[in-house]
Amino acid sequence: MKQNNKLELHERLITKLFNTKNELIFFDIGACEGLSSVRYLSIFPKSKIYAFEPVPDNFKKIKKVIEKYQLNNLIPFELGLSSKKGEATFYVSSGKPPNKDTPDDNSTEFGNKSSSLFKPGKTKEVHPWLKFKKSITIKTETLDHFCEDNNITNIDFIHMDVQGAELLVLEGANNMISKINTIWLEVEKIALYEDQALKTDIETYLIKNNFECILNKVNHIAGDQFWVQKTFLKSLDKTTNSYLLRQKTKTQIKSYFSSVYGNFTSKFKNIFKSSY
C-alpha cells in the first residue's frame, strides 16, 4: 500500500492510545471510497475495519480498493448508519472546483464526499461548486443493531464523516456508546445541511455520555474533533495523559484564534459587499 508516511495529528494520537500491532476494531462511517480505511490499515495492519457507505458508486470503489490491496480485514457494508433501521432519502453530491483536476487525497472525485441524509443548506454557499442533482433511497441501520447482529462488544476507534448526520449515528448507539473508546468526527457551527445537529448538540451528547474532547480543530464554520471515553482515558499511563493534555491545549488555542479570524474575515467581506 503506497501511503504518505507523515501521520496526521489524530493518527499520531491513536498510535499513542493503541498498540499498532494489536487486533483492534475500527468503524469507518461514511467511508466514501474507503481511503481512510486503507490509511488506518497501513498503520494498524492487524485491525478489523467495518466500513459503511450507502452511495452505490462509492461502495463499488471500496470493493475495488479491497481487491487491489487484498484487504481481507476491511469489511464493507452498503448502509447508512442512523438513529433507526429502515430506509431514508439520501442527497447525493457531485461537482468539481474550478482550476482543479486531481484531488489531493488520491480519491477519484472531488464532489462525492458531501452526500448526506439532510438536504444541503449553506454548504452550497461555502462550496459553490458542489452540486446536488439527485437523491436516492438508501438502507439505514443503527450501530446498536449492527453490533448486536455481528457480535461486536466493543469498538476501539470510530472515524465518522457523515455530513451533518453525526447525532443520528450517535443516537443509534445508545447501548454501545459506553463501549466505544475513541471517536473522530466532523462538526459544524453553522447549518451546512438543513435541520442538522450543530457543534453544541454533538458536544452535549458526548459529554453527557462520559466523553472528553481531546482535539478540537473547529474554525468559525466547521472542523474535526477527537473524543475519548473517560473510562478508557483513566486506564492510560501518566505519560500518555500528559501528551493528550498538551495536544488538547494546543488545539483549543488554535481553534479559538481560527474562529476569531474567520468570523472577522466573514464580517469584513459582508461589509465590503454591502457597500457596492
Position 266 scores a pLDDT of 64
Q: Describe the strand order of the beta sheet including 222-229 as a list of residue ranges.
A: 74-77, 48-52, 25-29, 155-160, 180-188, 222-229, 211-218
**Structural domain includes residue 13:** yes
Position 270 scores a pLDDT of 53
Total domains in the fold of the chain:
1
Position 262 scores a pLDDT of 85
Position 261 scores a pLDDT of 85
The CATH number assigned to the domain holding 182 equals 3.40.50.150
Mean pLDDT of all residues in 134-146: 98
CA 203 to chain centre: 15
**Structural domain includes residue 44:** yes
Domain span at residue 150 reads 9-274
Mean pLDDT of all residues in 193-219: 98
pLDDT tens, residue by residue, 145-189: 999 999 999 999 999 999 999 999 999 999 999 999 999 999 999
Mean pLDDT of all residues in 223-235: 97
**Structural domain includes residue 4:** no
Is the Cβ–Cβ distance between 197 and 206 less than 8 Å?
no
Is the Cβ–Cβ distance between 152 and 48 less than 8 Å?
no
Q: Using the 8-state DSSP alphabet, how is residue 219 labeled?
A: -
Position 272 scores a pLDDT of 41
Position 269 scores a pLDDT of 55
Separation of alpha carbons 40 and 42, rounded Å:
5
Q: Is 226 helix (H, G, I), strand (E, B) or coil?
A: strand
**Structural domain includes residue 3:** no
Position 105 scores a pLDDT of 86
pLDDT tens, residue by residue, 4-41: 568 999 999 999 999 999 999 999 999 999 999 999 99
**Structural domain includes residue 1:** no
